[in-house]
Chain A
Amino acid sequence: MDKPNRILVLFAHPALEKSRVNRQLIRSIQGMESVTIHDLYEHYPNFHINVKLEQELLLAHDIIVFQHPFYWYSSPAILKEWQDLVLEHDFAYGHNGTALRGKKVLSAITTGGTQEAYCRKGHNYFTIRELLAPFEQTAHLCGMEYVPPFVIHGTHQLQEAHQIAPYVESYQKAIAMFRDNTVDWQTLLQHKHLNHYLEHVSNTLESPLHVQ
């Protein structure tokens, strides 16, 4: 097996102590080998982002995960500040800005609204992929590959631990697959969401077992 992919989770949640889903997600990947969790609000309570340190972190990892709740169709403010400051000209983009080329970017987000709300007929009108376009295009401009996002919808309805558990499990599994490079990237890119790909994988895995 190749060297495992090093994963940097840039985590942004301004009130983690009140979070239910994100807290469990982050806990499930804590301490995993080759996975670095970087809690932005904890590091920079006054938004004074250490650009140099952040750029070094990026360079030291292969896959960047933006994990955050979906606020006003985007990320919490600190992640925008992070993008504004860290993705500098001549570092991330521009003629000489090739530092991030070839890395992969994943958005892992939670939304209060249901999946049905994010379509032309729903009250959010746009789809998640449409709304995530700034992240996708930012990745492209920096020469990185934007993989389909991991999305948990309807977090308001997820009150009980047993309702959250399946999502936590599949998130953990996805991170492990990314790290161990056991993802069929071509097939993954055909899906709108990472979640769909994971379902697809577990179905194809299970069926031969059932036959036996």
Chain B
Amino acid sequence: MSNENFFFHAFIYLAAAVLTVPISKRLGLGSVLGYLIAGVVIGPFGLRLVGQEGQDVMRFAEFGVVMMLFLVGLQLQPELLWRLRVPILGLGGLQMVANVILLSGVGIAFGLSWQAALAIALILPLSSTAIGVQTLTERGLMKTEGGQSAFSVLLFQAVAVIPILALLPLLTTSPAAVSAATTSSSLAGWQQTLLVIGTVGGIIVGGRFLMRPIFRFIAATRLREIFTATALLLVIAITLVMQIVGLSPALGTFVAGVVLAESEYRHELVSTVEPFQSLLLGLFFLSVGASINFNLVFGQPMLVLGLIVGVSILKSGVLIALAKSFRMDLSQSILFAFALVQGDEFAFVLFSFATQTNVLPEQLAGILIAVVALSMLLSPLFMIAYDRLIQPRLITQTEDRDADEIDDNENAVIIAGFGRFGQIVGRLLLANGYSITVLEHNSAQIELLRRFGWKVFYGDASRIDLLYAAGAAQAKLMVVAIDDSEQILEIVDLTRKYFPHLKILARAVDRRHSYELIRRGVDVIQRETFESALSMGVEALKLLGVRSYTAHRAAQTFRHHDEEALHDMAAMEGDDSALMARSRQLSQDLEQILQSDEQEIKHEVDRAWDILAQQKEKK
């Protein structure tokens, strides 16, 4: 592909996406459908702006799916996987078994050989992770019971692709092709197995022990683009290795993601990889749209239509029946089924693999690919039907359920900065049973904290994408406890702009900084040294012979007054011109505190508690 050509095609793809997706989103159809339609429009059966090279683009864009599974893995911690083991194995496994039995039965009844019927029955039940996850997240349904169950099934399927790939060559009707297909890996069966175990094990061990030091080293350079490059390098390296050993790259990156989900770089990795993943995934949907062979569809419209309807009914029937037997209520069962009704992007890979190995005739595979692509095109429509028709009717039943949704590691409190200040806040919250998400910029500090068993994530909290990845959209409180005054203001501004629902608790470095924070309307402001200095003052008073309780109360009065004065002066500051204020600030600060406090304390003595007590005794 020449340079000009490359730019021309990039222009076509991007223009199609930019024109179609926002419209589709605005119409409530979701982004996936937008991409697919854009693909059809620019494809060989639309405006013919892309032709054969669409296949290359698709192969490239499949990398988006690989990245998506890396991200899915990153957001899944081993604990969560373990907690979902019942739906993953139960729902996922049963879904597969039931569909394979039913579909192969139907295939044989229609006169296919059992091998071909079984091959089709293994491929068609798979559902697209890309579409499923995207549509569920877009609608905020990911955390509902139905959403979580759908996700569990998708996870099972992601792993199931591997044995299916291994099984397909065994179903061939012409043995000659087997040798052709298996020459790619000239190893014996047990060697192949060892290789697979070795590779996956290597990713787990490498991810656990090798990647953390590397990321720490990279993070210490504080060069963002190098961190990005490292993250991409990791994903690409795993993809290459997996391709060499003949495994699904998606599985490899998924495993790497799960391993790294435990590390402090989780949120940083998510926010780094996400933009690439989203773009590539969009490209992938575009090329799926462009690759639908409408000649085949229009050649046998009734067959294609029948297949789509038949397969959809069968799949959703199985899913709803399963959901019911797992005690989900009706609306969640339907959501679960509709999220999984579409075919899978892996089906394209598997069908072409099945033709290569002579399991399926090319004609049939072509039609089935079209069926899968069209079912992907239709799946957003199912979700729209769910949104508009089903959910409103069943909403009363789901209301209670939504409240105690499965938690997906998003905590209610985000603490930015976990040094001397943030640690105390965090420890108090943890001791009282509240879980927190901690962001820290200093990789040496993270290393230390992790050694003591703290869960801390690497990242600069003044980056909006990182805050998203840390769950700021779902959190309730944002504790800004870093020590850089400028950066605190920056984080406060960002939080107020992008997450106005968050209550902000900010550390104030000095008086001037407090004014800035007060003027920004920060909910809670705490001067970093004020409370400890005040306590020291109390101790000093006590050593001077003041009774402990009196000293304590004097300190409280002082605090109360000082905070009032702080707010007054912050308000005054706004009236003055900025320059005047700055020049007078420091001297004014000190003078005003001393003067006003002296007055106030005198005042306070008149009605102090011990005076009062004496009066009462006289009574």
A binding-site residues for B, Cβ under 8 Å? 46, 48, 50-51, 84-85, 88-89, 93-94
Query: What residues of B have a CB within 8 angstroms of the CB of A85 in the complex?
Result: 609, 612
Query: What residues of A have a CB within 8 angstroms of the CB of B609 in the complex?
Result: 84-85
B binding-site residues for A, Cβ under 8 Å? 553, 556-557, 560, 607, 609, 612-613, 615-616, 619
Closest chain A residue to B616 by CB distance?
Answer: A89
**A88 to B611, alpha carbons, bound, how many Å?**
11
Contact across chains for A48 and B615 when beta carbons are under 8 A apart: no
Assess A84 versus B560: contact at CB under 8 Å? Given A51-B607, A89-B619. Answer: no
Contact across chains for B615 and A89 when beta carbons are under 8 A apart: yes
Contact across chains for B553 and A48 when beta carbons are under 8 A apart: yes
22 contacts between A and B (CB under 8 A): A46-B556, A48-B553, A48-B556, A48-B557, A48-B560, A50-B560, A51-B607, A84-B609, A84-B612, A84-B613, A84-B616, A85-B609, A85-B612, A88-B607, A88-B612, A88-B615, A89-B612, A89-B615, A89-B616, A89-B619, A93-B619, A94-B619
* For the complex of A and B, 5 pairs with smallest distance between CB atoms: A48-B556, A89-B615, A88-B612, A51-B607, A46-B556
**What distance in Å separates the Cβ of A5 from its nearest Cβ neighbour in chain B?**
29
Majority secondary structure, B binding face:
helix
Closest chain A residue to B613 by CB distance?
Answer: A84
Closest chain B residue to A94 by CB distance?
Answer: B619
Query: What residues of A have a CB within 8 angstroms of the CB of B619 in the complex?
Result: 89, 93-94
**What distance in Å separates the Cβ of A96 from its nearest Cβ neighbour in chain B?**
13
**A89 to B614, alpha carbons, bound, how many Å?**
11
**What distance in Å separates the Cβ of B549 from its nearest Cβ neighbour in chain A?**
10
**What distance in Å separates the Cβ of A79 from its nearest Cβ neighbour in chain B?**
16
Closest chain B residue to A86 by CB distance?
Answer: B612
Query: What residues of B have a CB within 8 angstroms of the CB of A48 in the complex?
Result: 553, 556-557, 560
Closest chain B residue to A51 by CB distance?
Answer: B607
**A88 to B557, alpha carbons, bound, how many Å?**
18
**What distance in Å separates the Cβ of A156 from its nearest Cβ neighbour in chain B?**
27
**A84 to B612, alpha carbons, bound, how many Å?**
8
Query: What residues of A have a CB within 8 angstroms of the CB of B612 in the complex?
Result: 84-85, 88-89
**A85 to B609, alpha carbons, bound, how many Å?**
7
Task: Please name 10 further chain A to chain B contacts, defined as beta carbons within 8 Å, in addition to the given A48-B560, A84-B609, A88-B612, sorted by A numbering.
Answer: A48-B553, A50-B560, A84-B612, A88-B607, A88-B615, A89-B612, A89-B615, A89-B619, A93-B619, A94-B619
Closest chain A residue to B557 by CB distance?
Answer: A48
**A48 to B553, alpha carbons, bound, how many Å?**
7
**What distance in Å separates the Cβ of B137 from its nearest Cβ neighbour in chain A?**
35
**A85 to B549, alpha carbons, bound, how many Å?**
15
Query: What residues of A have a CB within 8 angstroms of the CB of B616 in the complex?
Result: 84, 89
Query: What residues of B have a CB within 8 angstroms of the CB of A89 in the complex?
Result: 612, 615-616, 619
**A95 to B552, alpha carbons, bound, how many Å?**
32
